[in-house]
Amino acid sequence: MKKEFYPPIKLGHGYCCLSQVELVINDSDAKKFYQERVMSYSRADQVSTMALVPMVVEQTSRGERAYDIYSRLLKERVIFLTGQVEDHMANLIVAQMLFLEAENPDKDISLYINSPGGVITAGMSIYDTMQFIKPDVITLCIGQACSMGAFLLTAGTKGKRFCLPNSRVMIHQPLGGYQGQVSDIEIHSKEIRNVKNRMNTLMAKHTGKALEEIEKDTERDYFLSAEESVNYGLVDQVLCTRETVSNLDEKADKKSKKSTK
């Protein structure tokens, strides 16, 4: 009997190990083949495998049309910012905002945020687009809005920044790590200080807090509940039910009608 052990073989994003391979050849020339496959995936691979996006089937005059759930919500002017803020995700969100502005520049865009934060430059591209486009951007925290997520939450249109009751918000100063020559490290250190000062200034602008208070609170991780976020000025209201949103929409409609008269 001959046993052979093979090294892991990469299949896509995962690894397939043929941990036990036995090839038995008996005298009657009959061959028996037995193998046990052990599939080992990293945690990230397991998450990506399980992250299936539901499809929504819509009946139209031309027949059925299928959308993934996020595309269907985009038709209702709802954008989701979930997970780490990074360049690819930021580009998609910017593109969606620009598309919705072109489609109707006078109708609000809703941005749902559930994010632990991420890359500053990626987040700032979303922030600048929010300030640049004509429609008001409603921000709503679901789950958590930490670091850059909290910054984008408070960057929504004033009066239209919301939290769900059990959401958590966290603000802090930028994080960075560099290596290289001393002169290069000094350059990067100066840059991250400039970024920190800029973000604190913008945070003070959107919250109405004094710059000195923002600098003190963001020196370390600073966690807030939904109600504390309202008191701090990061959001304007805690939403508990859909009726609350409906009442706000009615008030907004009445206000817009008065302004057009």
CATH number at residue 164: 3.90.226.10
188: its two tokens: 């990067």
- Asked if residue 21 is part of any domain, the answer here is yes
| Gap between the Cα atoms of 77 and 24, Å rounded | 63
- Asked if residue 90 is part of any domain, the answer here is yes
Tens of pLDDT, residue by residue over 213-261, are 999 999 999 999 999 999 999 999 999 987 766 666 665 555 555 544 4
Report percent pLDDT > 90 for the chain: 62
Structural domain total, the chain: 2
- Asked if residue 184 is part of any domain, the answer here is no
Q: Are residues 37 and 109 in the same domain?
A: no
Q: Which of 155, 138, 148, 199 is closest to 169 using CA atoms?
A: 148
- Asked if residue 34 is part of any domain, the answer here is yes
Q: Which domain holds residue 24?
A: 2-47
Q: Which of 58-62, 72-76, 100-104 has the highest mean pLDDT?
A: 100-104
- Asked if residue 248 is part of any domain, the answer here is yes
Q: Are residues 41 and 107 in the same domain?
A: no
Q: How confident is the model at residue 186 (pLDDT cuts 50, 70, 90)?
A: very high
Q: Are residues 144 and 247 in the same domain?
A: yes
> Does 188 participate in catalysis according to the annotation?
no
The residue annotated as part of the active site, out of 48, 115, 167, 172, is 172
Q: Are residues 128 and 254 in the same domain?
A: yes
- Asked if residue 113 is part of any domain, the answer here is yes
User: Residues near 148 by Cβ (< 8 Å), separated by ≥ 6?
Assistant: 85, 115, 117, 118, 119, 120, 122, 123
Mean pLDDT score, 136-156:
97
> Does 147 participate in catalysis according to the annotation?
yes
The residue annotated as part of the active site, out of 28, 48, 125, 147, is 147
Q: Are residues 23 and 79 in the same domain?
A: no
